[in-house]
Structures are given as C-alpha cells and as structure tokens.
Amino acid sequence: MSATMTTRPDRNPGADVDELVRPRISRALHTSIITASVLVALAVNALLGDVKWGWVVMLAAPVYLVAIRVAARLIEDRRQATDRTVTAIVTMSFLLVMMPLISVFWTVISEGAARLDGTFLSGTMRLTPEELMSQRDGAAVGGAYHAMMGTLIITGLAAAIAVPLGLFTAIYLVEYGRGKLARAITTMVDVMTGIPSIVAGLFAYALFIIVFGPGSRTGVAGGVALSVLMTPVVVRSAEEMLKLVPNELREASYALGVPKWKTIVKVVLPTAIAGILTGITLAIARVIGETAPLLVAAGLAQDTNYNPFDGRMTSLPVFTYYQYVQPGVPTEAGVQRAWAAALMLVIIVAVLFTLARVLARVLRPKGLQ
Amino acid sequence: MTLITTQTTSPRRLGDKVFLGLSRGAGIMILIILAGVAAFLAIEGRAGIFGDTEEMSGSDSFLEYVGPLVFGTVYAATIALLFAAPLAVAVALYITHYAPRRLATTLGYVVDLLAAIPSVVFGIWGITVLAPLLTGNVYPWLNDNLDFIPFFSGVLSTSGRSMLTAGLVLAAMILPIITAISREVFMQTPRLHEEASLALGATKWEMIRQAVIPYGRSGIISGAMLGLGRALGETMAVAIILSPSDGYFWSVLTNQNSNTIASNVALEFPEAYGLDVNRLIGTGLVLFAITFIVNAFARRIANAGFSGADG
C-alpha cells in the first residue's frame, strides 16, 4: 500500500485544466499497446526459430498483460491497473475457451464433409464382398442410413415417453402440487437430472433383460434409457414456462365458470406453448447425441432394423464411435465415415437449436413478455 | 385459487378428476422410475458385487475391481473441474459484463449449443486434434522440466492417450454447463447493487467483486458441482481418449492411467458375458451413488441461496 502511494505518478502533467477528469489510457494508446505486444511476441519467436502463430498468440498474451498493467500504473492509478488487468484476463479467458470450441466445429466440418454424400445417406454397413474389395481400392462405400433410422426410432420412442410424462408432471407441480408429494417429486426430478447417461443405459438394459432375456439389446431399451435422461429436462423447462403464465389469466377463466382442467388445457397451456415446445426441442437436442446409454442398451447392428422390440439397433452416435474405434480395412474408410456421422450429429443438434429459437419467436403470445 | 375447487355439475367434476389423476400419476411415475433405476441396478448388480469372483475375469474382489475405477473417475473429473471452473466463471463474466450487449445474446446461444455437442464428437476431436497438439508442444516440456512433480513424471505417452488429455477434453465439455449456470446468476444480480457500487466510484472489477460475485457465489459453486457431476458420469470422450491400465496412477502424462467407471463400462460391456456383466452393473450403481452425493451437495449449496452479507 505505502509503496503505491509513493510511486503514484504525478497526475495530469498537462495541467490544471480539469482537475476532475483523471488521465486515461486513450484508445489509440491501447491499440498501440496491443500491436506492440504482438510484434514483440513475433520478434521473440523469429529470433528463437520458426514463426508459429500458436506460440505468437501464447506469448503475446502475457506480454500484453504486463504492458497494460505497467501503462495503467504509470498513467492511471493502482485501481485502474487492477481493473485493466482483470479485463484483459477475462477477455483472454474467453478467447482461450473459444479456440478449442472453434477447433471442434472446424475439424468436424472439414473432416466430415468428405464422406457426407449420397452413398452415406442411403447405404448401410452391410457391405457386399465386392463393396469391401472396392473399399480397399479407396472407393467410398457404406453408409449410415440404418443408424439414422435407428436414431429416429429411438429418439422418437424416448420423446413419446418423456414428453407426456414430463409435461403432466410439470402441470401437477405448478397447478396442483402442494405438500409432501410435490416436494418429493421436485427433489427426485433434481436427482434424475444428475443421473449419468451410462447409468440410465445400464438401468434400461437391466430392465429389458427381464422381458427379452439375458444379453438382449433392443431399440426400445435404448428409448427407455434416453427417456430417463430426457424427462427431467422436459419437466424443468415446462415448469418454468407454466410458472410464467400470469395468475390473472387463470382467475379470469375461473370467474367465467370454466373448470380447472379446461382452464389448464385452453388457457394455461396455449399461453405457455412457445416455451414448452422450445424446451422439448432442446431436450431432444440433448439426448439425440447420447452414445453411452445406447451402446449399452441398443447395441450395434450392421443393417437397418425398423423393429424396436426385436434385435439390436444402431444409432448415429454409436455408429460414429464404432466407425472410429473399429474402422476396418483400410482405416481411412471407417474414420471418414465416423467424421461424416459426427458432422451429421452436429448439424442435427444445430438445426434443433435453431428450430427451438424460431418456435419461441413465432409462437410467443402477443402482449406477453 | 382456492375459491374455485368446488364444482357443481358432475361432468366437470369428472374432467377435473381425470386430469388431476393424470398429472398426479405422472408425478408418481417419476418417483417409481427413479426407485426403479436404483432397484434394477441393485438387483442385477448384486450378483456382481457379492458373487463368486472365481467366475469373473480379473480381480479378487469387487472392492479391488472398483477401487481404481473410482479413483480414476474422481481424478479425471477433478482435473476437468480445475481447468473448467475458473475459465467458465471468466467466460460468464465476459458474456454478462464485458461483451458488447448485442454480442452477448449470440454468445449465450453459442454456449448453450456447445453444451449439446455430443460427447462422441468431443472424443474423436480430442484424440485427433488435441492429443497430437499437446504431445507435440506441451507435454514434452512438462515432462522434461517439471518431472520432479509426481504428476508430470513417468514415460511420456507418444499418442497423448493420457489422463491430462482426457481431463482437458472433459473440461471443454463441462465448461459450457458451468458457464450457462454462472451466466444466469450473474444476470440476476440486482441492477441497483451494481449501480450503487459504480456510483460510489468503483471500477468495473470492484463493482463485480462487491455486487456480482457475492450475489452469485452460491450459483457458481452449485454450477461447478453440477459440472463435476457431469464430468464424473461422462463416458465416451474418456473411452475414446484414455489408455487404461489396472491400478492407481498419479502421473497424468503416461500411457498407464486408472480408467473411469463410465468409460470402463463402455469399453467392457459390449464384450462382457456372465457375471462380468453383473459386476459392470454393480460399478454403475457405485457411479450412481457418487454422482448422487455430489449433486445433493450442489443442491444444498444452491438452496442456501444468496448470502451476500457474509462476503
């Protein structure tokens, strides 16, 4: 503290023009500090050997951090110096975090685009000997049609279970729930949110070997596993949305003599429908990429299986995993299929997210915030 | 609201009864499902936990089998949390308080989208992009210069299939979750607290320390705990990246790593038969218990709510 008091620079050498305005680092100076930091990093890099942009950025960051701190101490004061340092750290953390995330997108798009073709969309992994031979010569064979169908069926089943279950539970919690039962349900929904996905898969497996016999893996088991993961998400989002419906609307309806259930169906739900549909779409986006529970409960098949009650059913994430870890001969072929499937998954998730946004905007009732 | 519960005509009453029955039934169903998860895991897992180890491959007892897995699970998740939590809070602060207003909404959307990127995608990205990058640039340096720290000693993994790579990928995966929760609590900071602080002449950082952090502290902690819960149960990224061995390993750069429970199930389950399957289900029950405890802890902190006065 005392040190800072003594080293505190003489304020505003330019004068007594305006004592109330403290000297600040100007925008131009700030820009030049940034440029100088990058140049210093570049110079150091060039002196030590080849210029690698990754290292330049890594070096420029601490140089800038020191430079801006010193500049702020000289021109401004200690508090401003701390503030500027924190601003720099926060901004750099943000940029640092963006790097791997951009890298994920970039890699998936650039690697996946190669094989996201007609054969991929229409073919399955049940390859004829001729196809296997041509694959050795580098031909693009094999596809994920069976996996897409599997994902569609399994996710559909999961939604068919989770949406009504979650919606009615939310209605109970918001419109009816008082007392012990409601509190217990709220707690248990929280617990359910935290179930690891693979545990949900093991549960579904353990449940369905009773029905289909030991070692069985079926689409319906996968659907049940995903519904365990999806239900709490639906409950939470629907609950939030129902709570937003103003009580005046309910009271107005009751005052007209409308029974409670009809009030819920005709007044409360339509008012909240935008939010509820958004929540459901996001919940589907969350579970559609789940790999672990389907690996355990639904397994892997090479061909299309439309029957969720009989036999294994491949889904896109499981397909991605197996194409990557067991790529076959040559390795390239499988890995390329894995990336194509990964790209498809990312596209599906992004489309669902955009859809959720559009739904929220289009269906929002007029006059409600 | 209570005025309306009495109805006179019977069809109305029937409609109400049916609807109440449906919604209450759904609520009770949730309780049954959750009890079912615990019960089925316990029933199928029992044979694996207490059964004859002669009929299983590997270890002598269930505890010996699950011990290293529990260690690996907690270890990987801790590494992930160590990296993700501070960065996530910084990113949340950036989005709520530093980014231009117009950009903030978009960034919030991007963060939510990232939370939904499938783990298998993160897994194959981790092993194709991140692992070679770190093995080429960072790991040798750590291994050469810091090997007096036990974590960085040992024979360097040339493929990057090490605990640190797995932990870093897990960090990238849980970061959006912690960010999303922190962002939400930061946005709820009462505007008046912030303005009062700024009006007294505080810099932005002082305002954040005085108003935003104390208000959001419980939210940050519960967000971090939820992230930890997610990291504990995360399967595919670890299964794809980590090169597992049997035993306890502290070093984070070698090819010998304790596997995690979830990853072990994913790797072993497709090929397992007999009592081995039951043993894997038993480890699933252990994982369920661990995440249950962590999440219960997170909820307690979250429910404790705003305690700005003690800050």
Q: Quick one: how far is CA B41 from the chain centroid? A: 21
Question: B116 to chain A: which residues are within 8 Å by CB?
Answer: 282, 285-286, 289, 349, 353
Choice between A177 and B76, residue whose per-residue pLDDT is larger: B76
Question: A235 to chain B: which residues are within 8 Å by CB?
Answer: 30
B5: nearest CA partner in chain A: A260
What are the pLDDT digits (tens) for B269-282? 888 888 888 889 99
Question: B20 to chain A: which residues are within 8 Å by CB?
Answer: 176, 261
pLDDT, mean of residues B105-119: 85
- Those of residues 295-354 in A touching chain B at CB distance below 8 A are 295-296, 299-300, 317, 320-321, 324-325, 338-339, 342, 345-346, 349-350, 353
The pTM for the full model equals 0.87
What are the pLDDT digits (tens) for A48-105? 877 777 778 888 888 898 888 888 888 888 888 898 899 999 999 998 888 888 899 9
**A104 to chain B, closest Cα gap in Å:** 6
Q: Is the pLDDT of residue A288 over 80?
A: yes
Q: Is the pLDDT of residue B88 over 50?
A: yes
Q: Does A108 touch chain B (CB under 8 A)?
A: yes
Q: Is the pLDDT of residue A4 over 60?
A: no
- Say whether A215 sits in a helix, a strand or coil: coil
Show the tokens assigned to A13.
């050498």
pLDDT, mean of residues B120-138: 90
Say what the pLDDT of residue A320 is: 92
Inter-chain residue contact B205 with A282, CB threshold 8 Å = no
The residue of A20, A57, A199 whose CB has the most chain B CBs within 10 angstroms, and thus the best one to mutate to test that interface, is A199
Q: Is the pLDDT of residue B309 over 50?
A: no
Question: B119 to chain A: which residues are within 8 Å by CB?
Answer: 289, 291-292
Q: Does A54 touch chain B (CB under 8 A)?
A: yes
pLDDT, mean of residues B12-20: 82
Residue positions counted in chain B = 311
Q: Is the pLDDT of residue A369 over 50?
A: no
What rounded mean pLDDT belongs to chain A? 86
Say what the pLDDT of residue A366 is: 59
The crossing angle, in degrees rounded to 10, of helices A331-363 and A269-288 is 170
What are the pLDDT digits (tens) for B139-182? 888 888 887 888 887 778 888 888 999 999 999 999 998 998 89
Inter-chain residue contact A90 with B281, CB threshold 8 Å = no
**A200 to chain B, closest Cα gap in Å:** 7
**B140 to chain A, closest Cα gap in Å:** 15
Choice between A21 and B285, residue whose per-residue pLDDT is larger: B285
**Phi then psi dihedrals of residue B245, to 5 deg:** -135, 165
Residue extents of the structural domains in chain A: 2-111, 129-363
What rounded mean pLDDT belongs to chain B? 85
What does the buried/exposed string (b/e) look like for A154-164 if buried means 16 or more CB atoms within 10 Å of the residue's CB?
A: bbebbbebbbe
Say what the pLDDT of residue B7 is: 47
Q: Is the pLDDT of residue B77 over 90?
A: yes
Say what the pLDDT of residue B308 is: 42
What are the pLDDT digits (tens) for A237-279? 999 899 989 999 999 999 998 988 889 999 999 888 888 998 9
What are the pLDDT digits (tens) for A302-340? 888 888 888 889 899 999 999 999 888 788 888 989 999
Say what the pLDDT of residue A3 is: 43
What are the pLDDT digits (tens) for A201-235? 999 999 988 888 887 888 899 999 999 999 999 99
Inter-chain residue contact B124 with A205, CB threshold 8 Å = no
Query: Which of B116, B122, B287 comes nearest A285 by C-beta?
Result: B116
pLDDT category, A38, cuts 50, 70, 90?
Answer: confident
Show the tokens assigned to A108.
């998936």
Say what the pLDDT of residue B1 is: 46
Record: fold of A129-363: MetI-like fold (1.10.3720)
**How much of chain B, in percent, has pLDDT values that exceed 90?**
37
pLDDT category, B245, cuts 50, 70, 90?
Answer: confident
pLDDT category, B310, cuts 50, 70, 90?
Answer: very low
Q: How far apart are the first and last CA of chain A?
A: 50
- Structural domains of chain B in order of their starting residue, each with its CATH number: 16-310 (1.10.3720.10)
**Phi then psi dihedrals of residue A332, to 5 deg:** -45, -50
- In DSSP terms, B244 is beta-bridged to B257
Question: A169 to chain B: which residues are within 8 Å by CB?
Answer: 23, 26-27, 29-30
pLDDT, mean of residues B21-34: 92
